[in-house]
Each structure stands twice: as structure tokens, then as C-alpha cells.
Amino acid sequence: MTQKPARPLSRRLFLRSASLIGCSAAAWPLLSPVTFASAPGDERLVVIILRGAMDGLDVVRPIGDPDYASYRHASLTDGQTGPALNDFYALHPAMADLMPLWKAGELGFAHAVATPYRDKRSHFDGQDILEAGTGLDVPQPQVRDGWLNRMIQAMPDLKSDTAYAVGRDEMKVIEGSAPSMSWAPKTHLRLSDQSQRLLERIYEDDPLFHAAAQEAIDISARLEVEKDAARNGMTRPAIKGQAAQLATFAARRLREDTRIATFSIGGWDTHRNQRNVLAGRLSDLSGAILALKSGLGRDWGKTTVLAMTEFGRTARENGTAGTDHGTGGALIMAGGAIRGGRVYGHWPGLADHALFEQRDLMPTADVRAYAAWAMRGMFGFEKGLLESTVFPRLDMGDDPKIIA
């Protein structure tokens, strides 16, 4: 088996080596990685994978549908529908901090979307299909690259970076032969001068590992400088919350030569007590989006953020004030490059006969199509390339014009 060029440094080997030199590897299983890739141009793309199946019906609430309230007693207790987006939809109250973005046209949604995955509703399979973007409703083990990586491969003048990863989740969406790198902001190499010289000496004859180790040392050193500056009042303290920290770190890189970033936020599997659990997750996601906007500054105007999940949840609540694995869901879009202030898509209705298998929101669009149209609008890719190479078997349909 040949080694994949984009991931030359395995986590096991990296952590084994790092443990010998003082890397805080014990915290590794608790971290979520953020992955970067450099690309030409000024446009920036951030893809956030929401692991666990976010309930789009609770996030972008179709309060204008006559069946919605009857399905969602626990979610809508005391009539808390959230801020109105328009005459038909309301936003979950936990995302109220994003309403200024909505009003500025920097926040939008696409409803009743899904990948081609149906019926079995497995998180693992659903996430694999979402990140592979293959257009089939079963995982394809032979497909070893993600749709973001295939997009990067199609970009001219791509800048090569050594790829490595530290963190809990593999970001399969960006894995593949095109170079990228991966880093978890809270994992630092705390090295004495002697230890650093030892590390460099160990890897000096191995260009692959030497480059990866040097990248890790450089990033950790920069983070320590920023932390020291914050402690001395020279910069604002880091935003609290892991999702916001990931986004803050991503924004720093995106203001440099990085143009594509992807990270994940977990915890969206709300079988029980959805009202409280989902509120916490949405607060974290809102914080991440606001951290991106704050950290990117003027570059926010050239940025598109896509927050995607593997599938939606059932239309009806279950007996434990939660929802079970479903099908149709919602896509969250943000950034100064999008045409926000609207909910895209065709609403299928929640009447019993309109539901998928009489239990789930019926998908009326392929979520991959929105990602493809975003790529076309940002990077100018040919439609045929997107439909055949980046997203095999995709019919993009009509342009929803989500990019301003």
C-alpha cells in the first residue's frame, strides 16, 4: 500500500515521537482538529462538519407550517419560537446573536437538504458519505479522498504544504493527494532549546518528518507568543469555548496564505432533552461563526462558511423530549461572500403524506449542490468538473445564486 502524499505523518507515530519530547499528548483524544490548505486568490472557504445529525427543523423553524407546532411540543414550550427570519421561518433562540449577520445579508440557510444517503441512518456511514461526496447512498471504501481535496486538486497554482494531523476526528472531507496540513490549537510542543535541537537532529535526514516537526514547532511558538501578548494586555484574550477557539485559530491562518479551512463540532445527536442540548451546541456554533467574522476582519467579505451535517432528524419528537435519526435537514451558510438574509430551497411540507417514510423531512435538494454552486461562484470552476470530479453523480440543477 502506498502512502498518501497529503498525510505523510501518522497520528500514532507523531504522538509516539511527541511523547518523548514533552508534547501534551495525553489530551489528544479530547481535541478536535482544524485542517488547512493553501490556494491561490483572495476567496476563503470554511467547511464546518456538524457531527451527530443536527436537527434542521429546530434550528430553522418552519413555524408557518400548520403541522410544525403539533410535532414539537417540548421544543416550543412557552411559545419560544425564536427571532423571525421571515413570515414562515424563525431562528432557534440560541442563535439570536447571529441576527445582525442575517440582517446584513451575511447569514443564510438552505432547508430540506440531504446527501443521497437514505434509510439506514448510521452516523458513521452518513458522515463518510457527506465528506466523500460520492453521490451514492452507501459508503465507498475505495474512495480515499474527500470532496474538498478533489476541489483543491483542480485548483491551479496550489501551494504545497506538508500534511499532518493531531486531534480526535479525521477530517475526511479534505483527505487525499492534494497537500494540506492539520493542527489542534491546544496541542503545544513545549520544548527546551536542547529538546528542540534534539528533535531537529533526529529528523534532519528525513525531509518528510523534518518539515512536519518544524511546522509544529513554528506554530506552537507563534501561539505561545500570542498567549504572552494577551497576558500582557497587548491583544484581546482568546475567545472561550473550543469551537470558537478553533475558529479563532482558523481565522488567523486564513488571514495569511491559507484559503481553505475545515473543522468539526460534535454533540448534535439529540435523542434526549433536545431543548437544552441543542441550545448549547448552537451557542457554540454561533460563537465559532462570530469568531471567524471577528478574526478575519476585512477578509470576512471574501469568506464563505458552510456548516453541514450528515442527516436531519425525525419530524416528530420522541418520548424523551428528543428526536431520532432522520433524513432531510438544513445547511447553514455565513460570510461576507454569500447572499444571505434568506432561506433557500423548496419546502415540502410536514403533512404525514409529505414526509419521507412518514417520519422525516423530505429532502428536496442535494446538499452537495449548494457546496458546488459556492465553489463555482467563488473559484470559477466549470459545472461539468464539479458534477463529475468533485461531486461524482451530482446534478447541480439551477443556480440558487448563494454567492454575492
Note the pLDDT tens digit of each residue in 305-364: 999 999 999 999 999 999 999 999 999 999 999 999 999 999 999 999 999 999 999 999
How many whole angstroms separate alpha carbon 164 and alpha carbon 4?
A: 11
- By the 10 Å C-beta count (0-12 exposed, 13-18 middle, 19+ buried), 255 is classed as middle
Residue 16 has pLDDT above 90, yes or no: no
355, part of any domain: yes
Taking the alpha carbons of 317, 321, 327, 333 in that order, is the dihedral positive or negative? positive
CA 376 vs CA 105, 110, 263: distances in Å? 20, 17, 22
In the chain, what percentage of residues exceed pLDDT 70?
A: 68
- Provide mean pLDDT across the span 221-229: 50
At 263, give phi and psi (nearest 5°).
-150, 170
In the chain, what percentage of residues exceed pLDDT 90?
A: 51
| Residues facing 37 on adjacent strands | 260
Q: How confident is the model at residue 109 (pLDDT cuts 50, 70, 90)?
A: very high
DSSP 8-state assignment for residue 314: B
Q: How confident is the model at residue 119 (pLDDT cuts 50, 70, 90)?
A: confident
176, part of any domain: yes
Taking the alpha carbons of 385, 396, 301, 59 in that order, is the dihedral positive or negative? negative
How many whole angstroms separate alpha carbon 185 and alpha carbon 213?
A: 15
175, part of any domain: yes
DSSP 8-state assignment for residue 356: B
Element of type H or E holding 136 = none
| Residues facing 109 on adjacent strands | 332, 343
Q: How confident is the model at residue 8 (pLDDT cuts 50, 70, 90)?
A: very low
Residue 222 has pLDDT above 70, yes or no: no
How many whole angstroms separate alpha carbon 225 and alpha carbon 234?
A: 11
Residue 154 has pLDDT above 60, yes or no: yes
- pLDDT for residue 249: 81
Q: Which domain holds residue 182?
A: 11-390
- pLDDT for residue 18: 37
190 touches 216 (CB < 8 A) = no
- pLDDT for residue 268: 96
Contacts of 251 (CB under 8 A, 6+ apart): 291, 292, 294, 295, 296
How many whole angstroms separate alpha carbon 269 and alpha carbon 389?
A: 31
23, part of any domain: yes
Lowest mean pLDDT among 97-111, 146-160, 294-308, 386-400: 146-160
- pLDDT for residue 180: 57
Pick the more confident residue, 230 or 375.
375
Residue 220 has pLDDT above 80, yes or no: no
Element of type H or E holding 193 = helix 193-203
Angle between helices 274-296 and 242-254 (to 10 degrees): 20
How many whole angstroms separate alpha carbon 375 and alpha carbon 264?
A: 20
Contacts of 352 (CB under 8 A, 6+ apart): 358
How many whole angstroms separate alpha carbon 279 and alpha carbon 59?
A: 9
Give the 3-state secondary structure of residue 258. strand
397, part of any domain: no
99, part of any domain: yes
Chain-wide mean pLDDT for the chain? 79
Residue 374 has pLDDT above 80, yes or no: yes
174 touches 153 (CB < 8 A) = no
- pLDDT for residue 100: 98
How many whole angstroms separate alpha carbon 400 and alpha carbon 287?
A: 27
Pick the more confident residue, 191 or 97.
97
5, part of any domain: no
- pLDDT for residue 146: 86
Report pLDDT digits (tens) over 175-198: 766 655 565 555 445 555 555 556
Type of residue at 167: G
- pLDDT for residue 76: 81
E strand map for 51-145: 60-61, 90-91, 107-114
Contacts of 385 (CB under 8 A, 6+ apart): 154
- pLDDT for residue 258: 82
Report how many domains make up the chain. Answer: 1
383, part of any domain: yes
E strand map for 21-114: 34-38, 44-50, 60-61, 90-91, 107-114
Residue 87 has pLDDT above 60, yes or no: yes
Report pLDDT digits (tens) over 258-285: 888 888 899 999 999 999 999 999 999 9
- pLDDT for residue 140: 74
Give the CATH number for residue 386: 3.40.720
